[in-house]
Amino acid sequence: MEPQSAPAAFPDLDGDMSGMGADGSLPSPPVPQDPSDYPSDTNADEPLPGVLAPQDAHDGIVGAGGDDPLPGLTALLGIKTITSGKEHVEMDMSITPQLQQIYGYLHGGATIALLESAASLGAVNRADLSKGRAFGVEVKVRHRKSGKRGTIRGVADLECFDDGRLVWKVAAYDEEGDVISDGTVTTKYVTYERLAEKEQERVAARAGARNG
């Protein structure tokens, strides 16, 4: 990314952070609470109740030059898609007062959201949304610098994949090309059938806890 004439202020920051992404998929539709709501034969013509239909799930997921905003948290943070592919994704996020922590620097959580959003979009691009959904399941990110103004670019590159799990190498860059944060994001493709099974297990566990 070409640096602008007025460089952002990015003092060195040596720290680290790791966390779990409970639901980083783009989009991240709700799962019905009652497993009986799931149709026995899930297909593109019979989307799950409360879940976007396959075509609708792609609405707002755009590539370079697209005008449609991404949904949910990405829209709230002002994240814009620059490049959208199955192995490489780039997104931009401007540092605004709403994204700063108490000392006036970019909040690390916003940077992590940018990186997980980029990885999750790549996962969605690879997914068959008529049969399941892609979710973020693990985030490991180290913060190296911070900033008060300017635009951050988040980049996600597919590093490896195995049995439905995708590991993305992610990095956020400032306008000077320096790394703000970097690490990995792991996403997982989950079928509707498996989602139904997991919900059945949760219902049974809750019932057992009440009866116990």
Tens digit of pLDDT for each residue in 19-50? 333 443 333 333 333 433 333 333 333 333 33
Strand ranges (E), the chain: 17-19, 80-84, 88-94, 132-143, 151-162, 165-173, 179-191
Domain extents in the chain? 17-27+43-211
Write out the two tokens for 30. Answer: 């709700």
The predicted pLDDT at position 147 comes to: 86
Give the model confidence (pLDDT) of 144-201 as tens digits: 998 889 999 999 999 998 877 999 999 999 999 999 999 999 999 999 999 999 999 9
The pLDDT > 90 percentage for the chain reads: 59
| Percentage helix, strand, coil for the chain under 3-state DSSP, each rounded to 5 | 25, 30, 40
CATH number of 17-27+43-211: 3.10.129.10
Give the model confidence (pLDDT) of 59-93 as tens digits: 434 443 344 456 789 999 999 999 999 999 999 99
Write out the two tokens for 208. Answer: 């057992």
Tell me the three state secondary structure of residue 156: strand
